[in-house]
Structure 1
Amino acid sequence: MGLSISGAVKKTDIPATTIRYYDKKGLLPFVRHDENGHRDFTKHDITMLQLISCLKNTGMELSHIRDFVQMCQDGDTTLEERLALFEHQKTVIEDRIKQDQKYLQTVEHKINYYKAACAAGTEDAVSNEDCE
């Protein structure tokens, strides 16, 4: 016997509502149900649920995650497709990190600007930079 949905929540920190939503959207076809219709999560199911959450959190669309889940169920004939999917997602993540680094630089610049203005007691002492 595996874990109930509450056990899956404890293992993954994914809310039960999200797990149910993923199931409704066809992302969890591998999860078995017991005789009462309750989800029965195995260790493999938990690992897949964590992976699905990871992919979602990196911006992958649910339809692409569903495709990935189907590829997993289709077996070894889809290995190259799965590799390509993850290589693409890595590029997406790297691009987002680069953009976030630019945002971080802007925020750090503003922190330094306002520290200097606070120390001087006025923005006039720092520069005529607008608050953008």
Structure 2
Amino acid sequence: HRCYDEQDLGWIRWLKMLRNSGMSIEMIREFVQLSQQGNDSIEARCQILDAHRQKIRATISELEGYLHLLDQKLLFYRGLEDG
């Protein structure tokens, strides 16, 4: 059995969030490698996170568009039900 401390668990949660939010395993590996380099890699890590943030924002925007179309279709169908 391996024992994890709070710092390990924090890293695991952080990496899981990155993966669940769509970051590729390759980019996660790069981020981890940069993190192991210490403060000299902060700018590179920020660039990775900024790029990922932009991708998430684009996905949210696209999904909001889909949600709007679904809402419009539901209004249409409910109008037909009401006669």
Partner of 1:114: 77
Partner of 2:44: 81
Map residues 15-34 of structure 1 onto 2, 5 A cutoff: none
Give distance in 2, aligned partners of 1:40 and 1:66: 22
2:10 matches 1:59: no
* Of 47, 51, 57, the match for 1:94: 57
TM-score normalised to structure 2 length: 0.93
Partner of 1:45: 8
Aligned pairs, how many? 83
Partner of 1:21: none
Partner of 1:19: none
Answer with 1 or 2: which has the greater Rg. Answer: 1
Give 1 or 2: higher helix fraction.
2
Once the two structures are aligned, what percentage of the paired residues are identical?
Answer: 27
**Runs of 4+ displaced beyond 4 Å:** none
Q: Which runs of 5+ in 1 are unaligned?
A: 1-37, 121-132
Secondary structure of the residue aligned to 1:39 is coil
Give distance in 2, aligned partners of 1:117 and 1:39: 60
Name the Cα RMSD after superposition.
Answer: 0.9
